[in-house]
């Protein structure tokens, strides 16, 4: 289904292969050697296609789907259309992710260094590193095995990037240590000076920013997002974080493991964020705060004080989310009274 | 008036030429061969200059203007200063746009391919295509006649771009099909992976993003804006859309024709937006919603549910705009009572 | 302390040198020839390290610090740990900025022009100008002494940039006149067309944008920020302004001197902003407004009408900040009543 101009497909994969790969249980699958050619959403999947049903909202689409096979939760097995092969799992979307990755594997470095790349002789490149046209790699950089540096990306002097990473087109990185398996999207800016100066009527004196950006493994940094380096301490992004597009992360900010930061969020300087925190779109977090493990911040919230572990907050200024909903209701009642 | 360092002017144009070009009616123009040299705002226009009066707020400037000629609505003809040539039209700003474009035509491809561009031999370039220094064009790309690819822009493998487009400096495009007469501004990011993964405590598993970005004709995408490609379906931008700077458009989003999306708006994944919708600055739209034709969303609104055709909403969470204004008033009354 | 991969340190500096350089008064400094090796925050500073104590919140860290020397306000001299050399000043953070800059001077042009840069022969480059690999400089540009144009930056035809500036990696500048000592961060977009068109159901007609961006001296423009050129008048940024990352500045906007514009702020077209105005993170300012000298706009505010000199506003729509706080309190009381 995916446009062959842009995607090349592997496969086909048999029922047995898919079950092994995705750690799911095949049901209604008399022939384990039957193969599937591709993945697709439920609505437009045909008989040799593998799909998934995760969001209850799409139950109708599931019930009427012509997909040959589907990842599904145990409780929906009975609702499946006749003849559909089922791969039963508690987490159909994750199983789909694995299957889709088998059909469409992620890019890995080809080992080709473009003649039009500019690489300082002191830089150390691992095996299979791919450097595309116009990319610039500075002195003493270290780039791990299989990493891709895409066209016109700029890697500043001394930067260390682990194995299996991709740095997208026109991204720029300086003053940073980056782990393995990280995806830095096009136009991301990592490691430049933070917004630090001594304000005053005689002018705002720039303060040297002497820290770094330290990024763990398996981190994604979205397109045109910006992560400033630390002022003295480092800016730290923990393993497994997912940072969307156009996100701003100020100097000295620390993110724990597995945080999800949705598009256009801004995190001001020196705020510490725990593990598996979710910050929804366009939320803003003031500087020097602590946000506890597992906290959730609603879209467009303005967080001005610490948030405890597991708390969910919303509104601007942000309050516990139940309170925020009550405020919304109270406000709408208020105007109804006035009519 | 425009700085000759940056702009080169055509003309002059006569009364007759301007009237024909802009489809306006000359009034108070005894000599149709009289020429004008340039365009300018009312305040600093002299006798050989063509100006426009569109916003009633500037009536004083119109009445006292020294401009030699002016585009004006019929109802203001009588207020014109003595001796001013008038080009009468219901839409003076549009007429001005046409006249200004005659004096300062938009750039078109020179047909010059820089020696410092890197173009895959399999790419097909139309007549008059201009590729500036440092631009990179991938395998199997197709670039239409007269299109300009500016310096250090990166066009990924397989991308199709129509005729008469301009891709700005340092922009990057992948996995996309783009129509004719589109302007992609510097630093825009189009076609990269959407923010898709199966969340979980064992890590967030990346889901392959198998769709494309499909952009119609006459579309503008602002500087440093980001448009992610679809997850399976495509991300679609209809003909004539105007997207400002720093806008985020998530995977699978669809925009109809003629939408206006102001700076720093964020549209979450899978939301469908109708024709001629206006989203004002910094508004955020949740995913999986439908926004009807002609709807308007006020600045900084947070839209969390569907918006009907022609509706105007405001606030966060967004409500019908009259309700939003009443809420604002009620809130301000509330504190006055407390004093 | 700063990672030697990325930073090279000058010094050491003696008590006498530091006092002279920072215009501070040494106290508890029996030996003016004693030297210090580096700067660092209070928490991890050792005996040969110079630190600063500015924010009262960190009094405990000051009292227990092992730093050999510290910039401090007169009122805290008595609280200093025994043996700490004190440099007394009313503005310890500014003094620290100066000292840190002595240890870690800002980059200046090396005079090296990369073989991989593409510079139009008509461009005029001052003494000591440094142009890194992949940078592109257009026809008739003028670049002042000691300015650095980093890798893959694109400077459009006719652009003038003063002395002692740095244009970061992958930034692009067109139609602009920029003063001395300006820092343009990676990915910033300056001088492209503003968002100008005559809207209408027959299509939105683009209006030529005939102005420029004019930037004073000592201005910073953050990563991936966007400043559109004027539509006819210029977009103007006054001396000493500090603009953070991902900020949007529309056409014809004017900023006075010394303004501080925090990340993700958006300023719509034709708004005039006075001197030393502070716009906090994610605030949005509607077009055609006037914001007076010294005004302050709270984070996430939505400013829809003029703000007087010295006023502080907050909320969306923005109101005087005291009123905003009262609204917040009133709203939270309202829901407590309902319980």
pLDDT grade, residue A337 (50/70/90)? low
Q: Which of B189, B208, B268 sits opposite A187 (nearest CB)?
A: B189
Yes or no, beta carbons of B210 and A7 under 8 Å apart: yes
Give how far A147 is from chain B: nearest CA, Å: 17
Q: Are strands A160-161 and A176-178 parallel, antiparallel or unpaired?
A: parallel
pLDDT of residue A339: 44
User: What b/e sequence results for B311-328 when a residue is b if at least 16 CB atoms lie within 10 Å of its CB, and e otherwise?
Assistant: bbbbbbbbbebebbbbbb
Mutate to test the interface with C, among A170, A284, A318, A325 (most CBs of C within 10 A): A284
CA distance B272 to B266: 13
Q: What is the separation of C-alpha B120 from the centre of its chain, rounded to a whole number of angstroms?
A: 30
Q: List all chains that touch chain A, counting a touch as 3 or more CB pairs closer than 8 Å.
A: B, C
Nearest chain B Cα distance for residue A150, angstroms: 9
User: In angstroms, what separates the C-alpha of B6 from chain A's closest C-alpha?
Assistant: 26
The mean per-residue pLDDT over the stretch A67-89 comes to: 96
| Contact: A96, B140; criterion CB under 8 Å | no
Mutate to test the interface with C, among A119, A122, A154, A178 (most CBs of C within 10 A): A154
Smallest Cα–Cα separation from C304: which of C321, C287, C327?
C287
Whether C251 is catalytic is yes
Q: How far is the C-alpha of A315 from the C-alpha of A321, rounded, in Å?
A: 8
Do the Cβ atoms of B1 and C232 come within 8 Å? yes
- Chain B residue nearest residue C212, CA to CA: B3
> For C173-189, what is each residue's pLDDT tens digit?
999 999 999 999 999 99
In this complex, how many residue pairs, one in chain A and one in chain B, have their CB atoms less than 8 Å apart? 179
Whole-angstrom Cα distance, residue A131 to residue A143? Answer: 10
Range B254-265 burial, b when 16+ CB lie within 10 A, else e? bbbbbbbbbbbb
- Residue A323 pLDDT greater than 80, yes or no: yes
Q: Prior bond to B317 cis, omega within 30?
A: yes
The sign one gets for the Cα dihedral B116, B120, B121, B124 is negative
Residue of B nearest to C157 (CA): B6
- Please report residues of B whose CB lies closer than 8 A to that of C178: none
Q: What is the mean pLDDT of residues A150-169?
A: 98
Rounded-to-integer distance, Cα C287 and Cα C293, Å: 17
Residues of chain A in contact with residue B132, where contact means CB-CB under 8 angstroms, are none
Query: What top-level class would CATH report for the domain C13-103?
Result: alpha beta
The single-letter DSSP state of residue B104 is S
Short-list A80, A46, A102, A222, CA closest to B195: A222
Q: Binning pLDDT at 50, 70 and 90, where does residue C339 land?
A: very low
Cβ of A263 and B195 within 8 Å?
yes
| Euclidean distance between CA atoms A311 and A320, whole angstroms | 7
The CATH superfamily label for domain B171-339 reads Hexapeptide repeat proteins (2.160.10.10)
Give me the mean pLDDT over the C246-269 stretch. 98
pLDDT at position A55 is: 87
CB-CB neighbors (< 8 A) of C170 in chain B: 152, 170, 187
* Nearest in space to B153 (alpha carbons), one of B118, B191, B193, B181: B118
Chain A positions touching B268 (Cβ under 8 A) are 262-263, 281
Binned at pLDDT 50, 70 and 90, residue B33 comes out as very high
pLDDT at residue A335 greater than cutoff 90? no
Computed over every residue of chain B, the mean pLDDT equals: 96
Q: Which tens digits make up the pLDDT trace of B53-75?
A: 998 888 999 999 999 999 999 99
Distance from CA of C131 to the nearest CA of B (A): 14
pLDDT digits (tens, 9 = 90+) for B75-96: 999 999 999 999 999 999 999 9
Distance from CA of B236 to the nearest CA of A (A): 15
How far B310 CA lies from chain A's nearest CA (Å)? 22
CA distance A206 to A235: 19
pLDDT digits (tens, 9 = 90+) for B185-195: 999 999 999 99
Q: Position of tokens 């890019």?
A: A107
Q: What is the mean pLDDT of residues B304-329?
A: 96
**Residue C202: its pLDDT value, please?**
86
The answer to whether the CB atoms of B232 and A41 lie below 8 A apart is yes
Write the residue in A183, A187, A300 that is nearest to B172 by C-beta. A187
For C72-114, write each residue's pLDDT tens digit. Answer: 999 999 999 999 999 999 999 999 999 999 999 999 999 999 9
Task: Give the start-to-end residue ranges of the domains of chain A.
Answer: 13-103, 171-339
Touching subunits for chain B (3+ Cβ pairs under 8 A): A, C
For residue A226, the distance in angstroms to the closest alpha carbon of chain C comes to 7
pLDDT computed for residue B334 by the predictor:
84
What are the pLDDT digits (tens) for C128-160? 999 999 999 999 999 999 999 999 999 999 999
Check CB contact under 8 Å for A284 and C300: yes
Position A338 pLDDT exceeds 60: no
**How close C74 comes to chain B (CA, Å)?**
41
Write out pLDDT tens, residues B153-185: 999 999 999 999 999 999 999 999 999 999 999
Q: Which pLDDT band, with edges at 50, 70 and 90, does C172 fall under? A: very high
Q: Which of C136, C187, C268 sits opposite B281 (nearest CB)?
A: C268
* Structure ipTM: 0.96
Average pLDDT over residues A252-262: 98
Contact of B139 with B157, CB cutoff 8 Å: yes
| Bridge-based pairing state of the strands A85-88 and A69-72 | parallel
Percent over 90 (pLDDT), chain A: 91
* Contact between C200 and B94 using a beta-carbon 8 Å cutoff: yes
pLDDT of residue B44: 81
Q: Which residue of A has its CA nearest to C97?
A: A207
Contact criterion met (CB < 8 Å) for B1 and C210: yes
The predicted-structure confidence for A180-238, as pLDDT tens digits, reads as follows 999 999 999 999 999 999 998 888 999 999 999 999 999 999 999 999 999 999 999 99
Query: By CA distance, what is C116's nearest residue in A?
Result: A118
pLDDT digits (tens, 9 = 90+) for B103-144: 999 999 999 999 999 999 999 999 999 999 999 999 999 999
Query: Residues of C with CB below 8 A from A200's CB?
Result: 91, 94
Chain A partners within 8 Å of B235 (Cβ)? none
Asked if pLDDT for residue A116 goes beyond 90, the answer is yes
Which one of C5, C94, C104 has the shortest CB-CB distance to A208?
Answer: C104
Q: What is the pLDDT of residues C216-226, one digit of tens each?
A: 999 999 999 99
Q: Which of A293-302, C7-16, C193-202 has the lowest mean pLDDT?
A: C193-202
SS3 letters for chain C? CCCCCCCCCCCCEEHHHHHHHHCCEEECCCCCCCEECEECCHHHCCCCEEEECCCHHHHHHHHCCCCCEEEECHHHHHHCCCCCEEEECCCHHHHHHHHHHHHCCCCCCCCCECCCCEECCCCEECCCCEECCCCEECCCCEECCCCEECCCCEECCCCEECCCCEECCCCEECCEEECCCCEECCCCEECCCCCCEECCCCCCEECCCCCCEEECCCCEECCCCEECCCCCCCEEECCCCEECCCCEECCCCEECCCCEECCCCEECCCCEECCCCEECCCCEECCCCEECCCCEECCCCEECCCECCCCEEECCCCEEHHHHHHHHHHHHHHHHHHC
Of A197-211, A234-248, B228-242, C153-167, the range with the lowest mean pLDDT is A197-211
**What are the tokens at B89?**
């039209």
Chain C: residue nearest A160 by CA? C5
pLDDT (average), residues C232-253? 97
Mutation for testing the B interface, residue in A1, A3, A6 having most B CBs under 10 Å: A6
> Would you state the pLDDT for residue C168?
98
Which chain B residues are within 8 Å of A7, Cβ to Cβ?
210
Nearest to B286 among A183, A245, A299 (CB): A299
What residues of A act catalytically? 251
Q: B-chain residues within 8 Å CB-CB of C201? A: 258, 276
Q: Which residues of A touch B170 (CB under 8 A)?
A: 152, 170, 187
Which residues of chain B does A293 touch, with a Cβ-Cβ cutoff of 8 Å?
none
Q: How confident is the model at residue C334 (pLDDT cuts 50, 70, 90)?
A: confident
Q: Give per-residue pLDDT as tens, B241-290.
A: 999 999 999 999 999 999 999 999 999 999 999 999 999 999 999 999 99
What share of chain B has pLDDT > 90, as a percent? 91
What chain C residue is nearest to B42 in terms of C-alpha separation? C232
At C85, phi and psi to the nearest 5? -75, 135
Sign, CA dihedral A113-A117-A120-A124, equals negative
The pLDDT assigned to C46 comes to 87
Residue B337 above 70 pLDDT? no
Q: Say yes or no for a CB contact (<8 Å) between C169 and A187.
A: no
């Amino acid at each position: 289904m995916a446009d062959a101009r842009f995607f090349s497909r592997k496969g086909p994969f048999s029922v047995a292969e898919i079950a092994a790969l995705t750690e799911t249980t095949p049901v209604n699958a008399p022939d384990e050697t039957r193969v599937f050619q591709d993945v697709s959403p439920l609505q437009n999947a045909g008989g040799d296609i593998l799909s998934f049903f995760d969001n209850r909202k799409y139950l109708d689409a599931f019930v009427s789907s012509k997909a040959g096979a589907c990842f599904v939760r145990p409780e929906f097995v009975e609702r499946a259309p006749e003849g559909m092969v089922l791969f039963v799992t508690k987490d159909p979307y994750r199983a789909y992710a694995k299957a889709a990755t088998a059909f469409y594997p992620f890019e890995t470095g080809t080992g080709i260094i473009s003649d039009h790349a500019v690489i300082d002789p002191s830089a150390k490149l691992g095996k299979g590193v791919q450097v595309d046209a116009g990319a610039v790699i500075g002195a003493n950089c270290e780039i791990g095995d299989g990493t891709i540096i895409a066209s016109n990306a700029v890697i500043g002097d001394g930067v260390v990037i682990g194995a299996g990473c991709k740095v997208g087109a026109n991204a720029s990185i300086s003053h940073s240590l980056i782990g393995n398996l990280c995806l830095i999207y096009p136009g991301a800016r990592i490691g430049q000076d933070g917004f630090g100066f001594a304000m005053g009527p005689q002018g705002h004196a720039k303060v040297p920013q002497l820290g770094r950006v330290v990024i763990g493994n398996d981190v994604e940094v979205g397109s045109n997002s910006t992560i400033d380096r630390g002022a003295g301490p480092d800016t730290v992004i923990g393993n497994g974080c997912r940072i969307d597009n156009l996100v701003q992360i100020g100097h000295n900010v620390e993110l724990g493991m597995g945080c999800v930061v949705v598009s256009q969020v801004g995190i001001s300087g020196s705020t510490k964020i725990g593990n598996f925190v979710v910050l929804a779109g366009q939320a803003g977090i003031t500087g020097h705060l602590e946000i506890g493990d597992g906290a959730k911040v609603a879209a467009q919230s303005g967080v001005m004080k610490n948030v405890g572990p597991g708390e969910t907050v919303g509104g601007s200024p942000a309050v516990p989310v139940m309170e925020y909903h009550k405020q919304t209701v109270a406000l709408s009642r208020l105007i109804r009274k006035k009519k």
